[in-house]
Structures are given as C-alpha cells and as structure tokens.
Structure 1
Amino acid sequence: MPEDLAAALAAAGARPASCSRRRQLVGAIESAKRPETRAKRIDAAVAAAG
C-alpha cells in the first residue's frame, strides 16, 4: 500500500478494507499520472472507507 494512502487512512481512522478492495484502490491510485489526480483518488478512497 502506498505510504500516502496508508497515512491518509490512518489519519481518518478508517477501517481496513478487504484484500480485493485494497488492490482496486491501490491500482487506481498508482495509475494516476498527475499528483492532483492521485490526491483526489486518495481522498475518495478515504471517504469510501469511512
């Protein structure tokens, strides 16, 4: 799991996702080409987690 995603989830106190959902999130985040897109996807992942 990327450090920035892990830090954002920990800061939000989000509960851990299943392995397959984590794989989807990480794939979407790592495929982002621009830092702005990556940040937006991390924000969305944190909101969805919790």
Structure 2
Amino acid sequence: MNIYLRKEDIEDGESVMTAEYRPVEYGKDYDVVNNPDKFQLYIDGKEIK
C-alpha cells in the first residue's frame, strides 16, 4: 500500500511511504484475520518488529 499525506498527492503519484503486510512463510495459505501472528509488517521495505 502506498501512503500519501494529502488526497491531492494521490493524483500526482507522490507517496511518502510504502507499507506491506507479508506472510512470514511464503506460499502458505494463512489468512491475516485468523492468523495475524503469521504475518510481518514492512515499512519502506524494512521489517517492523
């Protein structure tokens, strides 16, 4: 997900950061609702603990 400070920035394509919520084990069929502990948050590609 791209994060913007203002709605107007969305049209210009100027995001301030990128957030991703990825599974810890690639290829597993976990869903984030029932297995949130199986996912890791990344901001601008850096793992957030």
TM range (shorter): under 0.3
Q: Which has the higher helix share?
A: 1
Larger Rg computed on CA atoms: 2
Q: Which has the higher strand share?
A: 2
TM-score by length of 2: 0.22
TM-score by length of 1: 0.22
Structure with more contact order per residue of length (Cα contacts < 8 Å, sep ≥ 6): 1
